[in-house]
Structure 1
Amino acid sequence: MSSTEHFYSLNRFLREAHGSKVIKLSIDGGFTCPNRDGKLSTKGCLFCSAEGSGDFTPSAQLSITQQLHSALDLVSKKWPQSTKYIAYFQSYTNTYAPLATLKAKYEEALAFPQLVGLAIATRPDCLEDETVAYLQELSTRTHLWIELGLQTSNEASARQMNRGYTLDCFKDAVFKLASYGIEVVAHLIIGLPGETLEDYLATARFIGQLPLQGVKIHMLHILDDSPLGRIYQKNPFPLLTEEEYIFAVGEILKLLPSHFVIHRLTGDGAGDHLLAPLWTRNKKQVLNHLNHYLKLHDIYQGKF
């Protein structure tokens, strides 16, 4: 990082890798999840929306190609000059299907014009050996990364949120994918019920020891179509303020290795479903306040 940068952004990483602005096109592969279909549970992770965290994807009733065109229409209004894209399989668990099904969907996406990569969100307990072998082969043909939802390294919090797998399961999946040369991105949620700053920092220290390519960090969103949202409506619990969240992100960044790509520092909650915290609706303002805070306090990724 240069002396004026406070973290290694995804935008910079993709520009370095592909020589231009690269935009992610979010799509719904039509998958489900073992935490929803009864294999593990029918409740899902308590914080997860009815759309499986794919609230901004096109309809799964459309083909992969149709969804990519639809997503492209939306982003082209904001980035009309971009010529390169990554297909982001976002909703639910995108390796939870027979290999033939996965191949059909991934290969259809790869046929989309000017696509330079695939980002695949999944669970660490849904990575069969034959699937990982295929992902390795894919990674030789396109820029591929796998996104795994850790959220927290606190096992008690994970059980409370009905995550459905252990910390060892997550760690084993990261090392397995890395051994195949596949890039891995971890998701973290700040503000889970009962967690404190020390929990967030413990999670940061935990992932800092893993062979990850990057990390996504965002605030806990309380959505009215999630199990946690229904709990919150009956018995509201404390949530972080914007100032508390920004402070926590700054402390986390200090602990993360400088080579980790920061894919996200805040997130979007679907406006129609967001119960709280309402300050997260203004993503641009949150990022502006965060960048000002990092500059003011001379905070940069890997400082400690």
Structure 2
Amino acid sequence: MRYRTLAAWCRRRLGGRMRKIPLDAGFSCPNRDGTLSFGGCVFCNQAGSGTGLLHKGFDPRAQWDRLAAKFVNDPDEPHPWAYLQSFSNTHGPVEKLAAVLAQVAALPGVRGLCLGTRPDCLDPEKLDLLTAAPLPVRLELGLQSANDRTLARINRGHDAACFARAVTGAAARGLDVCAHVIAGLPGETLEDFLATMDFLAALPVWGVKFHNLFVARGSLLERSWRAGEYQPMERAAYVAWMARAIPRLRADMVVERINADPAPGELLAPDWASDKSGVIRDIRQALKDLDTWQGRDRDAPDAMPQW
């Protein structure tokens, strides 16, 4: 393998695969509740990458029982980790976060917590609370781009320096951070995307999730796309960008995902975004064709690491 996958990390650190169980704990987002705006980031829709199960009457324990039952206490199955995925799961009072952490820690058979949030929703008090949680916590932190002009263009509501402060504070407390970045954002060039890789590689970032920008039903981007103001990048361009980006990462970083995973029914364009496995194959082949690998342009120029 020419990049360090999550599966490889799990084998070394956990002794087996990780199974992330998505949970909806009822958090909102400062870009949705009026703290910053009501429209959200241009790529996000009202679902906020969540299941919506809380609003269907399932509290976190009921969601866990429904989704994780077959994985808990089964030695042949992966390690089940709770995944607070919907919206920004440190937004709001610290007391709410403390209560949710207590709920998650009490889930039967849970091995750890992946928590998705924004850098501007983390402060020292919340980071201290996460550090003191009675189970391992890994943060999934949205950056999307290190270009402040791009962040303003997509209505992100924070700058790259905010992300750097959050990562530094988390890492100083021993918390792993997985950064989310997007290729194909409006107005971005390949050079902008590669600069984001350099930005991440210079920070104490544990891992990266890559997403190709797609038009989600109900997002602000849908309006631009329907008006002909935004055209999604071609599949070949995304593959080429990824083959240039991965070598810019540090060799010790985990590449947790290399393309987006639209929820059922939300993808409007491009059609190729639905072919997740095919795009993964294309990226791996492109790395092979170029005889390059993660870290080659950074800290492993001479030989491909054995992950």
Q: Verify: 1:261 aligned to 2:257, yes or no.
A: no
Contact 2:142–2:180 (CA under 8 A) maintained in structure 1: yes
Which of residues 8, 30, 51 in structure 1 aligns to 2:4? Answer: 8
Q: Verify: 1:183 aligned to 2:176, yes or no.
A: yes
Contact 1:26–1:57 (CA under 8 A) maintained in structure 2: no
Which of residues 9, 26, 31 in structure 1 aligns to 2:27? Answer: 31
Cα shift at 1:163: 0.2
Q: Distance in 2 between matches of 1:183 and 1:205?
A: 19
Which of residues 123, 135, 147 in structure 2 aligns to 1:154? Answer: 147
Cα shift at 1:238: 2.4
Q: Distance in 2 between matches of 1:57 and 1:12?
A: 31
Secondary structure of the residue aligned to 1:146 is strand
Contact 2:214–2:232 (CA under 8 A) maintained in structure 1: no
CA offset digits 1:207-237 (Å, max 9, x no partner): 1100111111010011121111122112242
Tell me: CA distance 1:58–1:6, structure 2 relative to 1, closer, same or farther (3 Å).
farther
Q: Verify: 1:131 aligned to 2:126, yes or no.
A: yes
Partner AA of 1:62 in structure 2: F
Tell me: CA distance 1:83–1:215, structure 2 relative to 1, closer, same or farther (3 Å).
closer
Q: Verify: 1:87 aligned to 2:87, yes or no.
A: no
TM-score by length of 2: 0.91
With 100-109 and 187-196 compared, the bigger mean Cα shift is at 100-109
Which of residues 259, 276, 283 in structure 1 aligns to 2:269? Answer: 276
Q: Verify: 1:218 aligned to 2:211, yes or no.
A: yes
Aligned equivalent of 1:300: 293
Aligned equivalent of 1:289: 282
Contact 1:49–1:223 (CA under 8 A) maintained in structure 2: yes
Aligned equivalent of 1:50: 46
Contact 1:120–1:146 (CA under 8 A) maintained in structure 2: yes
Q: Distance in 1 between matches of 2:75 and 2:128?
A: 36
Partner AA of 1:45 in structure 2: C
Aligned equivalent of 2:136: 143
With 229-238 and 5-14 compared, the bigger mean Cα shift is at 229-238
Give matches, 1:95-106, under 5 Å: 95-106=90-101
Q: Verify: 1:62 aligned to 2:55, yes or no.
A: no
Q: Distance in 1 between matches of 2:115 and 2:178?
A: 10
Partner AA of 1:91 in structure 2: S
Q: Verify: 1:109 aligned to 2:67, yes or no.
A: no
Q: Distance in 2 between matches of 1:46 and 1:103?
A: 30
Contact 1:147–1:187 (CA under 8 A) maintained in structure 2: yes
Identity %: 36
Q: Verify: 1:121 aligned to 2:119, yes or no.
A: no
Aligned equivalent of 1:206: 199
Q: Distance in 1 between matches of 2:225 and 2:78?
A: 43
Q: Distance in 2 between matches of 1:89 and 1:170?
A: 19
In the alignment, structure 1 segments of 5+ residues that lack a partner are none
Aligned equivalent of 1:252: 245
Secondary structure of the residue aligned to 1:125 is helix
Aligned equivalent of 2:303: none
CA offset digits 1:35-58 (Å, max 9, x no partner): 11111111111111111122x564
In the alignment, structure 2 segments of 5+ residues that lack a partner are 298-307
Partner AA of 2:128 in structure 1: A
Secondary structure of the residue aligned to 1:87 is strand
Cα shift at 1:112: 2.1
Cα shift at 1:70: 2.7
Secondary structure of the residue aligned to 2:116 is strand
Equivalent residue pairs, number: 294
